[in-house]
Amino acid sequence: MAAQGAHNPSPGMGRKNPRSGRLLRHADFEQVYKQGRRHFSTHMTVFYLRRAEGAGLRVGFTVGRVLGGAVARNRMKRRLREAVRLSRPSPGPAADVVINPKKSLATAPFAGLLVEVSRAFEVVTQKVAERPRTRE
């Protein structure tokens, strides 16, 4: 018996989520929270911070215990990872992004989630490309 997706590959097949494209260290998450900006949407809050070196987006997820048990939180992370994998801009700006889902993400249709993640990446790309604001 052949594998289920062997004959009809999905549109995003072949796109990876490499280690270099993920936010992994606690200190990096903290820096994005403390120094970064926020973008609010229906099912998530996206925190982002421009990086001085490197290229491309590094994406991380935080799903707190308040959103449910381990099974529910892991399912949210899997859905978010897939939406990010399918909608990540290929070159992308040098920025760190942390996605913090809301409870409503658990029941949101995947197509809507995909649109929301794509829109968030558009906003992040646009805002990071702008000149930084100077404090006076």
135 inside domain? no
Give 60-72 pLDDT, tens digit per residue.
999 999 999 999 9
8 inside domain? no
Distance CA 23, CA 131 (A): 24
Give 65-119 pLDDT, tens digit per residue.
999 999 999 999 999 999 999 988 877 788 999 999 999 999 999 999 999 999 9
CATH of the domain at 110: 3.30.230.10
99 inside domain? yes
- The backbone torsions φ and ψ at residue 84, rounded to the nearest 5 degrees and listed phi first, read -65, -45
- The backbone torsions φ and ψ at residue 40, rounded to the nearest 5 degrees and listed phi first, read -100, 135
The domain tally of the chain equals: 1
117 inside domain? yes
Range of the domain at 106: 20-127
pTM of the model: 0.81
